[in-house]
Amino acid sequence: MKTPWNDSALIDAFDADFSALVEFASASACPAGFGYLDADGAITESKGVELWITCRMTYMFALAEMRGVQGVSGLVEHGLDALSTSLHDDEYGGWFSALDATGEQARPVEPIRKEAYAHAFVILATAASYLAGHERGRALLDEALADQDAHWWEPSYGRVANSWNRDWSECEEYRGLNANMHTVEAYLAAFDATGERRWLDRAREMMRFVADLGARFGWRLPEHFDKNWVVCPEMFIENPADPFRPYGATPGHGFEWARLILHGRASLIACGDTPGEWMYDVAHCLVDRADADGWDSEKGGIVYTTDFDGKTVVDTRMHWVACEAVNATLALGKVSEELGNDDDVMVQSERFARYVAWADQVIHAGPGRWIHEVDADGHESETVWAGKADAYHVGQMLLLPRIGLYPGFAAALAQVRAHDHSEL
């Protein structure tokens, strides 16, 4: 069956835009790491240098290096320099969340917090750098993984804590699904880079929690919990448009969890395991719910958040949500192909094509330039995300048609590069 994600013209167009995206993102390099780009691609100095952005950029440049993009190896090294020096807490360990880089020397933003969300991206960046051939990335990866055991992983729950103060003496009582989602992604990358099975097993444990949570809440995933992982569905209702802790359910995270669960499924199969039907079924339920609640059939686009009855709360459309919708339907469609479910392949093909068309028409501003936020009418807005600071979601969307679901992005590209070199 012909599917849109296998169309050679689309894959070639994605390849060309990936190279343009990397060129645009390269302007984010600054002395202390990678900065926050505005809409025109200039660094917003007032935003400082954030750990999660520096890690995501380092990760993207490592992927680009393995994809054969020229001139990015030095940017990977620059990211590793930042993770070794300016962003690294030499006194207490771990990494600073943000730096004020307006003075002669960058310094941590007060009050200093260490966040699971950003530390997950340290793993992602260092794993990809190591797989791209930057040997010192392995030492940083090992340190980041040891830090997971020391401070983040909570064995009694099978999930990670959310944040600490600088000296690790005070753990925030809040627990969040977003940080755990990106930790799943990080642990899958750690498994790819190290071959250590415990990282895959931990990722699966978090996926199983999401499966049970989704079944309880009609596949609208609650994001916020207390320290004992009791759901707090009304938390942050006073600030529904927060970029990291919005009230309600986030359809984009439903798509993203679905993709990650299918990556985990593929990893388990590659290990010789039989992962169980629940992983495909849960991914399907999450995608179905996210599409039903999130897609605006009148104006197009996927809303940012809903309540737990599926009613829209924030109707702003985020670029990352569209990217994850594209990736999730591709992943689900590929697994449906594998299982011989032709009817579902047709469903996911329609969704994939619909999401790609909307993204190309509304948020693709030009080669390598993606508008991060538009309002319900498709006009550029900045209520949640200003500028063009993030290349990570778009970059993975542009790469996924080229690779399978296992191994993950970095390891898959490393395999392709090794194969290409072997034929020279």
Looking at the annotation, which residues are catalytic? Answer: 253, 393
Helix count and strand count (H, E) for the chain: 13, 16
Residue 228, judged by CB atoms within 10 A of its CB (0-12, 13-18, 19+), counts as exposed
The tokens describing 5, both together, are 């994600």
Q: For helices 409-422 and 51-67, give the axis angle rounded to 10 degrees.
A: 20
Q: What is the DSSP string of 233-269?
A: TTTTTT-TT-SSS-SSB-HHHHHHHHHHHHHHHHHHH
d(CA 410, CA 122): 14
Q: Is 217 helix (H, G, I), strand (E, B) or coil?
A: coil
Side-chain half-sphere exposure of 353, counting CA atoms within 13 A: 11
Q: How far apart are CA 24 and CA 41, in angstroms?
A: 7
Instruction: Give me the long-range contacts of 382-386 (CB less than 8 A, separation at least 24).
Output: 383/241, 383/316, 384/241, 384/242, 384/243, 384/304, 384/314, 384/316, 384/318, 385/243, 385/318, 385/319, 386/38, 386/39, 386/44
What does the alpha-carbon distance between residue 27 and residue 369 come to, in Å, rounded to a whole number? 13
Query: How far lies 272's CA from each of 266, 267, 275, 410, in Å?
Result: 10, 9, 9, 21
CA neighbor of 304 nearest in space, from 365, 359, 253, 348? 253
- H or E element in which residue 312 lies: strand 312-318
* Chain-centre distance for alpha carbon 310: 24
The dihedral sign for the CA sequence 27, 28, 29, 31? positive
Give the residues across from 249 on adjacent strands.
306
